[in-house]
């Protein structure tokens, strides 16, 4: 019996297209409900897509990637991490390893419904999460890291201000507000420590060589510098690095180019090693600049 027939209360039809889009609710290991969208093409082969910091399953580029895979007749599942989008729980700064456990709950649920997880894809913070997952559980064969940050100690001052460490030691927290002064979220000393103790370098070294990893980054990314993308190529054994010229952090004007690049890597014959990089020496060959054809 299909997942939809088994539990209609957790699977609501979103549209009436030929392929079925369904809202799916999955409980994580903390008893919180994670909400996602299954774009079911009828194939049990399933790709899971993860969003980034303060984002959701419905933002770009998650929707674009899911739609491109759907046209290729590949089922996708995109979901909101705890405290984001429609999912339960409170938003927390950091939380990289906690989100990797959310992803674990999602994959276990889908596998329990006889789905084969053929790839996990993450954008921005989600890129770090899928790498952390692959390093710990070693049960996925394809991982795609889009705009992930290698050096997690970077980018903090831009959000929390100068002397953030001194301030958080004194007050125990920092409240982040937007340009209009509206409160967005609170950063505690514990959540800041969570981010600073998440070891991307160690995770990259721990990913099994049979796992194929793609890092895609935009050359005009102003959130995470493209120079960080090359760090993943240094330490992941079976890795390809692709830089899309002119693209920003969310690939705003390069959505379909990004999605087609990811789909191409997914479909690539594993015997064709192509531009896989295993060392700094090979990096110049591994970076593949692409000019827009759209």
Give the residue among 193, 172, 163, 187 at the shortest CA–CA distance from 93. 187
Burial 144-164 (b: 16+ CB within 10 A, else e): bbbbbbbebeebbeeebeeeb
CATH fold for domain 20-151+201-267 = Rossmann fold (3.40.50)
Q: Give the model confidence (pLDDT) of 27-72 as tens digits.
A: 999 999 999 999 999 999 999 999 999 999 999 999 999 999 999 9
The token duo for 118 is 């053929």
Give the pLDDT score at 290: 38
- Rounded to the nearest integer, the mean pLDDT of the chain is 88
Domain regions of the chain by residue span: 20-151+201-267, 153-197
> Higher pLDDT residue, 8 or 145?
145
Q: What is the C-alpha to C-alpha distance for residues 41 and 17, in angstroms, rounded to an integer? A: 10
DSSP, res 17 = S
The torsion angle over the Cα atoms of residues 156, 203, 74 and 31, rounded to 10 degrees, is -70
Q: What is the C-alpha to C-alpha distance for residues 267 and 273, in angstroms, rounded to an integer? A: 13
Q: Give the model confidence (pLDDT) of 233-245 as tens digits.
A: 999 999 999 999 9
Q: Give the model confidence (pLDDT) of 62-119 as tens digits.
A: 999 999 999 999 999 999 999 999 999 999 999 999 999 999 999 999 999 999 999 9
Does residue 287 have a pLDDT over 50? no
Give the pLDDT score at 275: 44
The pTM of the full predicted model, rounded to 2 decimals, is 0.86
The answer to whether 124 and 52 are in contact (CB under 8 A) is: yes
Between helix 62-71 and helix 255-267 the angle, nearest 10°, is: 50
Q: What is the C-alpha to C-alpha distance for residues 216 and 223, in angstroms, rounded to an integer? A: 14
Does residue 17 have a pLDDT over 60? no
Give the pLDDT score at 291: 33
The token duo for 138 is 């070693």
Give the pLDDT score at 158: 87
Q: How many other CB atoms are found less than 10 A from the CB of residue 248?
A: 16
């Amino acid at each position: 019996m299909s997942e939809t027939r088994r539990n209609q209360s957790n699977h609501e039809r979103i549209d009436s297209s030929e392929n079925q889009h369904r809202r799916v609710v999955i409980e994580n290991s903390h008893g919180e409900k994670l909400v996602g969208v299954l774009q079911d093409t009828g194939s049990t082969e399933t790709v899971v897509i993860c969003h980034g910091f303060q984002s959701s399953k419905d933002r770009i580029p998650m929707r674009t990637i899911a739609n491109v895979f759907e046209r290729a007749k590949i089922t996708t599942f995109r979901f909101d991490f705890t405290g984001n989008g429609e999912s339960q729980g409170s938003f927390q700064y950091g939380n990289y390893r906690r989100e990797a456990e959310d992803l674990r709950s999602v994959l276990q649920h889908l596998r329990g419904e006889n789905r084969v997880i053929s790839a996990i894809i993450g954008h921005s913070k989600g890129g770090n999460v899928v790498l952390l997952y692959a390093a710990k559980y070693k049960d996925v064969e394809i991982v795609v890291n889009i705009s992930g940050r290698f050096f997690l100690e970077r980018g903090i001052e831009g959000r929390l201000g100068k002397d953030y460490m001194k301030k958080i030691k004194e007050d125990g927290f920092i409240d982040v507000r937007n340009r209009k002064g509206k409160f967005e979220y609170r950063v505690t000393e514990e959540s800041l420590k969570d981010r600073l103790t998440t070891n991307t370098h160690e995770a990259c070294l721990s990913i099994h060589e049979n796992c194929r990893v793609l890092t895609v980054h935009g050359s005009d990314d102003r959130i995470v510098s493209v120079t960080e993308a090359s760090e993943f190529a240094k330490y992941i054994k079976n890795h390809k690095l692709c830089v899309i010229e002119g693209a920003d952090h969310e690939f705003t004007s390069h959505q379909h180019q990004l999605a087609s690049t990811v789909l191409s890597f997914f479909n690539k014959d594993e015997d064709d090693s192509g531009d896989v990089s295993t060392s700094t020496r090979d990096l110049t060959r591994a970076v593949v600049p692409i000019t827009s054809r759209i």
